[in-house]
């Protein structure tokens, strides 16, 4: 018999009391059954005059079987052959019973389209057929995942969830367990029940492997797609295709979007990206992220204040400056936020005491000095032009005040006005621009804006 011959070969190199094959981790009853199968193989080989069965292992004497043991082994081999024949005849009936029970107990199965239901039926039939083959040669290595799940296309892992797959496998195994008394030969029920239990364990591992492989492949594809979206935003190539790709990654439609940029930590970039996602889930933020060279770029969506949102993610960045781009209304507009964040990251070295994270708009003077045209234009449009339109007195007062080292009395003497007049005009400057001239940092920004505005005016005149 094939099973007896295979076991006889295994017994040439393994101790007589060892269990082999898939049934090795099973309960003690399975171990005893394996030992009995090995005994049957030895008795069969001895009856044929086999040389290997009588060859003792080095340092050990070959065990001898009693007449009763040989008879028990022969009886068990006959029962196993009878069970296999009955199992082969009942396989179609068992598959039909499993499918009928799924239709009766699993609502999600009933709601599936006919194509998906047929795939699941193929999986159930393949599972029972694979068990029959496994029961015939329990000691031979079996690729259960290929035998069972290879009958259905890979799209099945997207059509049904892992939980649903577990439910359909449990239903099939239950049908097989209930049919043991009918399928197994008289006296072979216990052995078949143990075999079903061991096979169920192997099917569970095979299921986990199939879905793990699918998840890994899908995760690798999603990572490449996400990096493509982030790179498109940085390069300014964002279009409607970016929106569809972002939607495929689970990006919603947050009303506020900004880009956070800093140095990427050393190590595996996939671990960094996963850490960003965990932090974003905890903070209830939408994120698209990627490690581009030495930079870690995160597109953040959510209603939280920009700096507060960045602080929820800042722990995943390497030491050094972290810059938050301006808030925009949608993903396509995030290109402007990304450009500002990148320019701020380059210019941040000019402000060593900058907070972490720092807004890109707080780095406008450094960005302007570094040659960022957008920053220069923003300083002129948001500071110089409103002051010029508010009247020459505000520009003149601000210029004199800054030249006099922020001294009210000195500015008042130069302007021939009362210090309270200077104080009032400086408050008007704050109201118009949002920058207080008495603050050192704001005074620096105002000075750069005045210089750029005058240069622009001179350039227009020339």
Architecture of domain 372-461: Orthogonal Bundle (1.10)
Q: Give residue-wise pLDDT tens across range 364-394.
A: 999 999 999 999 999 999 999 999 999 889 9
pLDDT at 56 over 50: no
Q: Look up residue 388 and give its two tokens.
A: 């010029």
* Average pLDDT over all residues of the chain: 79
Q: Give residue-wise pLDDT tens across range 189-224.
A: 888 888 888 888 777 777 777 777 666 666 566 677
Q: What is the torsion angle, in degrees rounded to the nearest 10, for the CA atoms of residue 343, residue 344, residue 345 and residue 347?
A: 90
Any residues with CB less than 8 A from the CB of 50 and at least 6 apart, and which?
8, 44
pLDDT at 237 over 50: yes
pTM, full prediction: 0.58
At 90 the pLDDT is 84
Answer for the pair 338, 261: CB distance below 8 angstroms, yes or no: yes
pLDDT at 89 over 80: yes
At 142 the pLDDT is 54
Query: Between 419 and 173, whose confidence is greater?
Result: 419
Any residues with CB less than 8 A from the CB of 196 and at least 6 apart, and which?
131, 173, 176, 177, 180
Average pLDDT over residues 61-84: 77
Domain 236-364: which topology? Alpha-Beta Plaits (3.30.70)
% of the chain at pLDDT higher than 90: 32
* Residue 403, CA distances (Å) to 202, 407, 410, 411, 458 in order: 82, 9, 9, 8, 20
Q: Give residue-wise pLDDT tens across range 399-423.
A: 999 999 889 999 999 999 999 999 9
- Tell me the helices (H) and strands (E) count for the chain, helix number first: 22, 5
Q: Where are the domains of the chain?
A: 2-54+62-213, 236-364, 372-461
At 164 the pLDDT is 81
pLDDT at 16 over 60: no
d(CA 425, CA 432): 11
At 9 the pLDDT is 39
Which position has the token pair 């107990």? 105
d(CA 429, CA 117): 72
% of the chain at pLDDT higher than 70: 78
């Amino acid at each position: 018999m094939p099973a007896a011959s295979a076991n006889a070969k295994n017994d040439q190199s393994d101790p007589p009391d060892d269990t082999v094959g898939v049934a090795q981790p099973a309960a003690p009853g399975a171990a005893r059954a394996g030992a009995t199968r090995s005994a049957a193989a030895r008795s069969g080989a001895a009856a044929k005059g086999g040389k290997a069965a009588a060859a003792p292992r080095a340092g050990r004497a070959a065990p001898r079987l009693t007449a009763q043991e040989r008879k028990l082994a022969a009886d068990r081999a006959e029962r196993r052959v009878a069970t296999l024949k009955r199992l082969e005849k009942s396989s179609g009936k068992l598959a039909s019973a499993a499918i009928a029970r799924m239709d009766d107990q699993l609502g999600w199965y009933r709601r599936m389209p006919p194509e998906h239901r047929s795939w699941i039926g193929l999986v159930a039939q393949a599972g029972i057929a694979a068990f029959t083959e496994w029961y015939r040669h329990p000691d031979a290595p079996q690729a259960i995942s290929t035998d069972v799940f290879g009958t259905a296309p890979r799209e099945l892992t997207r059509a049904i969830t892992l939980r649903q797959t577990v439910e359909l496998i449990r239903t099939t195994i239950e049908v097989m367990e209930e049919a043991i008394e009918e399928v197994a030969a008289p006296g072979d029920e216990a052995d078949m029940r143990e075999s079903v239990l061991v096979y169920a364990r192997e099917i569970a591992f095979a299921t986990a492997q199939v879905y793990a492989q699918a998840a890994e492949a899908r995760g690798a594809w999603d990572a490449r797609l996400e990096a493509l979206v982030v790179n498109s935003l940085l390069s300014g190539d964002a279009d409607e295709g970016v929106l569809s790709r972002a939607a495929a990654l689970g990006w919603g439609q947050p009303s506020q979007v900004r880009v956070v940029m800093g140095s990427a930590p050393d190590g595996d970039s996939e671990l960094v990206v996963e850490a960003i996602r965990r932090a974003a889930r905890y903070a209830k933020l939408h994120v698209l992220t990627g490690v581009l060279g030495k930079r870690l770029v995160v597109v953040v969506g959510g209603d939280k204040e920009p700096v507060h949102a960045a602080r929820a993610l800042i722990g995943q960045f390497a030491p050094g400056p972290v810059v938050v781009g301006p808030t925009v209304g949608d993903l396509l507009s995030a290109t402007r936020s990304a450009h500002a964040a990148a320019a701020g990251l380059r210019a941040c070295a000019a402000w060593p005491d900058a907070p972490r994270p720092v807004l890109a708009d707080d780095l406008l003077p450094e960005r302007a000095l570094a040659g960022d045209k957008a920053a220069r234009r923003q300083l002129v449009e948001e500071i110089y032009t409103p002051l010029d339109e508010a009247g020459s007195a505000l520009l003149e007062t601000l210029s004199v005040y800054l030249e006099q080292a922020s001294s009210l009395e000195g500015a008042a003497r130069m302007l021939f006005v009362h210090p309270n007049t200077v104080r009032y005009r400086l408050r008007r400057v704050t109201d118009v621009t949002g920058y207080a001239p008495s603050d050192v940092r704001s005074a620096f920004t105002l000075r750069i804006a005045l210089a750029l505005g005058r240069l622009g005016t001179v350039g227009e005149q020339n």
